Amino acid sequence: MPTAAQLRNFADLVQQAAQRHGDAVFLPRRGPREHRPTSFAELVGEIREIAAGLLAQGITKGTPVGLVAENRAEWLACDLACACIGAVDVPRGTDTPPAELEFILGHASCRAAFVEDEHALRGLLSRRGSLPELGTLFLMTAPPAGGEPLPADVVTLEQLRAAGRRLLTDDAEALARATDAVGRDDLLTVIYTSGTTANPKGVELTHGNLLENIDMVEDVLHFGPSDTALSILPSWHAYERIMDYVLLYAGAQLVYSDRRHVKPDLAAVRPTILVAVPRIWEMVHDGIVGAARKLTGTKRRLLNHALELARAKGRGELGIGGRIAHAIYERTLLPKVREAATGGRVRIAVSGGGALPAHVDERLVGLGLPLLNGYGLTETSPVVAVRHPETNRCGTIGPPLPRTQIEVRDEQGRALPVGQVGLIHIRGPQVMRGYHRNPEATRAVLGADGWFNSGDLGCLERDGHVRITGRAKDTIVLAGGENVEPERIETVLKTSPLIEQAVVVGQDRKHLAALIVPHREHLEHELPHDRWDESDGQLKATTVRELFRKEIDRLITAENGFRSLERIGGFQLLSEPLTPDNGLLTQTLKVRRHVVHERFAGLIEALYGV
């Protein structure tokens, strides 16, 4: 059979999945908590009916269609149904702020949209007046019994599938004609990146972009029918999306989960493949370290020693005695640690979507977890590079994928030699077509020769591996003109068991400061919760602040390679985690990028005594 890169379009990918894997179960769950299995053949049958139903609704090649839903079988079926007929889906999560969703659907000129449930439907109906081009809304899940009647322009997914079945009965070749008209250069999707200081940009990706990336990833990671993967990240994110496609192509199982149920699902599902963002790997790491803190006596000493040796092994710094001790732990203790942390069957673990803290990378790899750090962007479909299982070296993102080039350049666009840090540029068949209806932004990052400026800083190593060192836009310029890369400081701060998250700020200020989210469970081991003085979203007790002042000063030192200007002058201890879900993470990063959100203006000013 042809490889993914040789297929004409996604309709071929869907058909090949049905032919190769048939009645094997692809989705043991329809959603994170809906335990109802769906085979490859059943999913493809749903896709065909939805695709034909869209044709019956007048949706054809090139029609933009919104897709507002979370991870579930219907999301994947609707996404692939659009792909099969050449419609261009525009995905977003149900937690998207209404104004942002309105901008995205309007900017993409969506003529129709899928919505997950009645709540999402009502939210979108309330903004219809600002979306004159938006026509029919397709409701994925059945409305509650006894509720208000649906408006005339709302069609349930079952009604859409029924219309598709009627069309296929009346015209058996209708769907085949539509799929045959779709080519590799046709647009598959427009994924809007989150806006920070401006409206989000719509990344245009073609069928060829994604098919090539599927083939590249599979060529390195080799998923197969015996594999089971846990789906944690939002399906509309390019990172989760490409992995779902690779699993479909390879015949592996995909089990839907969510961040609230990761721990129990790891134990219940015992996945062989675990693809996640760094925050999940930090959770796994902190769970192991936290377990050691709860032990006493000999057990605590043994596990702490194993953790120390694991990090040394991950850094490549084990001596003969350390290697012998680590080998003993590998035969006795470490398999139990891996089983408790991830279920014990993981053979491919991938981190991507952000910077993987060095201490997490080193310790988990040293513990025997096959953690492969990767790199990519929505604009690159998304994967650009990933470490290989056989050459898994911590601190890097591995070599570029097949048919992918990476070049490091200075600010004038000149190529830099091995080892020298500069801007990462990428060229390959997975690079986007451009930003939707935004030629100026496209020209700013994509050259006529196909090279894409990622905006990330990094360097090439002699063996072809790539090391990412930071984000060009994240550089902080202090009042004295000194440049500071905050990511390294944040990474070291988060090596402390007491610090769960850290964001360094200081643009145009005399010194750096930090917003810190304490690790609540570990902090309670040091000081009882009733002594924290937790109010107004902060921890204010003098004893707590003194504890963190000592911890920060212990980490950010000249001995650890920091300049005096990189010391943290002030800090705030936040009681609420920084997450995309509550908007705090995005807004905090806006602070660093010189746009102080009203929610943080007073907090930042207080750091500097203003």
What is this structure's pTM? Answer: 0.84
Residue 20 has a pLDDT of 96
How crowded is residue 356: how many other Cβ atoms within 10 Å of its Cβ?
25
Q: Which amino acid is at 407?
A: E
Q: What percent of the chain has pLDDT over 90?
A: 74
Confidence of residue 585 (pLDDT cuts 50, 70, 90): low
> From CA 533, how far away is CA 588, in angstroms rounded?
23
Report, as an integer, the average pLDDT of 281-308. Answer: 93
Residue 592 has a pLDDT of 52
Residue 503 has a pLDDT of 87
Q: What is the pLDDT of residues 174-209, one digit of tens each?
A: 999 999 999 999 999 999 986 544 688 999 999 999
Report, as an integer, the average pLDDT of 443-467. Answer: 95
Q: Which CATH number fits domain 207-221+381-468: 2.10.260.10, 3.40.50.2020, 2.30.38.10, 3.40.50.720?
A: 2.30.38.10
Q: What is the pLDDT of residues 237-253, one digit of tens each?
A: 999 999 999 999 999 99
Residue 349 tokens, joined = 């673990």
DSSP string for residues in 451-516? -EEEEEEEEE-TTS-EEEEEEGGG-EE-TTS-EE-HHHHHHHHTTSTTEEEEEEE-TTSSSEEEEE
C-alpha torsion sign, points 95, 98, 104, 108: positive
Mapping DSSP onto H, E and C, the string for 37-53 reads CEEHHHHHHHHHHHHHH
Q: Which CATH number fits domain 4-183: 3.40.190.10, 1.20.1250.20, 3.40.50.1110, 3.40.50.12780?
A: 3.40.50.12780
Report, as an integer, the average pLDDT of 299-303. Answer: 95
Tally DSSP H helices, then E strands, for the chain. Answer: 21, 27
> From CA 91, how far away is CA 105, in angstroms rounded?
9
Locate the domains of the chain by residue range: 4-183, 207-221+381-468, 475-607
CA distances from 135 to 96, 128, 225 (A): 20, 9, 40
Q: Is the pLDDT of residue 579 over 70?
A: no
Confidence of residue 526 (pLDDT cuts 50, 70, 90): confident
Q: Is the pLDDT of residue 147 over 80?
A: no
Report, as an integer, the average pLDDT of 128-157. Answer: 91
Instruction: Point out which residues pair with 276 in neighbouring strands.
Output: 351
Residue 198 has a pLDDT of 64
> From CA 368, how far away is CA 347, in angstroms rounded?
10
Among the residue ranges 177-191, 217-231, 398-412, 537-551, the one predicted with the least confidence is 537-551
> 277: which residues sit within 8 A by CB, 6+ positions away?
233, 239, 351, 352, 353, 354
Give the mean pLDDT of the chain. Answer: 91
Q: Is the pLDDT of residue 343 over 60?
A: yes
Whether the bond between 382 and the residue before it is cis, its omega within 30 degrees of 0, is: yes
Q: What is the pLDDT of residues 30-86, one digit of tens each?
A: 999 999 999 999 999 999 999 999 999 999 999 999 999 999 999 999 999 999 999
Confidence of residue 537 (pLDDT cuts 50, 70, 90): confident
Residue 602 has a pLDDT of 61
Report, as an integer, the average pLDDT of 384-395. Answer: 96
Homologous superfamily of 475-607 in CATH?
A: ANL, C-terminal domain (3.30.300.30)
Closest CA to 520 of 512, 510, 528: 528
Among the residue ranges 290-304, 370-384, 531-545, the one predicted with the least confidence is 531-545
> From CA 194, how far away is CA 580, in angstroms rounded?
10
Query: Exposure string (b/e) for 309-321, b if CB count within 10 Å is 16 or more?
Result: bbbbbbbeebeee
Contacts 24+ apart (CB under 8 A), 313-316: 313/365, 313/366, 314/361, 314/362, 314/363, 314/364, 314/365, 314/366, 314/394, 315/362, 315/366, 315/394, 316/393, 316/394
- C-alpha 443 chain-centroid distance: 26
Report, as an integer, the average pLDDT of 543-564. Answer: 91
Confidence of residue 109 (pLDDT cuts 50, 70, 90): very high
Q: Is the pLDDT of residue 477 over 80?
A: no
**Strand pairing class (452-460; 434-435):** unpaired
Could you give phi then psi for residue 405, rounded to 5 degrees? -110, 140
